[in-house]
Amino acid sequence: MADTLVPLQRTHPLDARPSLTEATVGAVRVVDVSAQVQVRAAVPGPAADALAQVIGAPLPTRPGTWTPTPAGGRIVWLGPDEWLVVDPSAPSWDLEARLRAAAAPHGGAALDVSGQRVVLSLSGEHARDLLAAGCAVDTHPSVFRRGAAAQTLLGQAGVILLALSDDGTDYELFVRSSFARYLADWLADAATEHRTA
């Protein structure tokens, strides 16, 4: 019947890679993130202020940084007028609606992009070794510590890389869903030397 909507089963691009954590000697885990909303606003300006009000924290203006939110999420700098708001628990459509309602009257924008990227945690003693196998950004803790963010390439995949710790042992990787399986395979391959050691 045309008026009967059957909810689609929500699937994850890495459902077919249940052994990813094992294959990377515990370094890589899939992170469940409830909402990812991309926001646009001029800073300084009323749209940015309105977005900050909803999030509960100002938008970071320094390139290559992320800041935590009171809800336990993150605001990632993506460009001089663009951010990714990540929330661990808010329904994505609700967060999008609240951010849009605040920003749109002032010329800002908000878009739910929760399905666009998969989030991976990369941690432990081998975290930096795995990154170094295919990422040209300097991840040494002296220049890339908690609060640092980089949009770059890991292997052949575009990623957003966040540093969560000051000692180079805790990172988060955002990768486009269609590249997630490639990156999972790539990470498992990069971990071979640590697996057999």
Partner 1 sequence: MQMIKCPWCGPREEVEYHYGGQAHVAYPAEPAALSDEEWAHYLFFRDNTRGLFAERWVHTAGCRRWFNAVRDTVTYRFHATYRPDEPRPVTA
Cα–Cα separations (whole angstroms), residue 53 to 50, 96, 176 = 5, 14, 28
Residue 65: CB minimum distance to partner 1, A: 11
> By CB under 8 A, is residue 152 in contact with partner 1?
yes
Long-range contacts of 149-153 (CB under 8 A, 24+ apart): 149/64, 149/65, 149/66, 149/76, 149/77, 150/64, 151/78
Residue 83: CB minimum distance to partner 1, A: 11
> By CB under 8 A, is residue 142 in contact with partner 1?
no
Question: Where does this chain touch partner 1 (CB under 8 A) — which range of 28-36, 112-120, 151-159, 175-183?
Answer: 151-159
Residue 153: CB minimum distance to partner 1, A: 5
Full 3-state SS string of 130-154: HHHCCCCCCCCCCCCCCCEEEEEEE
- Helix 92-103 / helix 46-55 crossing angle, nearest 10 deg: 150
Enumerate residues 121-140 that contact partner 1 by CB under 8 A. Answer: 136-137
Nearest to 64 by CA among 51, 52, 77: 77
> By CB under 8 A, is residue 42 in contact with partner 1?
no
Residue 6: CB minimum distance to partner 1, A: 37
Nearer to partner 1, 30 or 175 (CB): 175
Enumerate residues 51-80 that contact partner 1 by CB under 8 A. Answer: 63-64, 78-80
Interface ranges with partner 1 (CB under 8 A) = 63-64, 78-80, 136-137, 150-153, 158
